[in-house]
């Protein structure tokens, strides 16, 4: 599909989040790299090679780096001020 539509970039909105002290639900976290935490081939041994958690066998990828230009653009954005709306009963 990406080839068919000549996709230039893909924006991923995460489903996990940051693990830094002080981060809270709803915080916006921009990652310079991500890892697929569901990928577990640590038990898959090929010769002397073992795999780290998140590593894709035969490819050797573990971390995916963010596009530097897109990351800089996101970092330059000022998030909107949150507003609270009271719902009437």
pTM of the entire structure?
Answer: 0.57
Quote the pLDDT of residue 20.
Answer: 78
Count the neighbouring beta carbons within 10 Å of the beta carbon of residue 51.
19
33 token code pair: 């790299």
14 token code pair: 């995460």
33 vs 64: CA distance, rounded Å = 5
13 vs 16: CA distance, rounded Å = 9
Q: What pLDDT tens digit does each residue of the chain (89 aa) get?
A: 888 999 888 877 766 666 778 887 777 788 888 777 777 888 877 777 777 887 877 777 788 888 899 999 988 987 777 666 666 65
The runs of H, that is alpha helices, within the chain are: 68-76
Q: Tokens 């002290």 sit at which residue?
A: 21
């Amino acid at each position: 599909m990406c080839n068919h539509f000549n996709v230039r970039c893909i924006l991923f909105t995460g489903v996990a989040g940051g693990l830094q002290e002080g981060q809270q639900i709803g915080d916006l976290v921009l990652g310079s790299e991500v890892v697929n935490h569901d990928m577990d081939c640590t038990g898959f041994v090929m010769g002397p090679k073992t795999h780290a958690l998140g590593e894709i066998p035969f490819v050797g990828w573990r971390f995916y780096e963010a596009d530097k230009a897109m990351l800089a653009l996101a970092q330059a954005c000022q998030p909107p001020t949150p507003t609270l709306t009271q719902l009437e009963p």
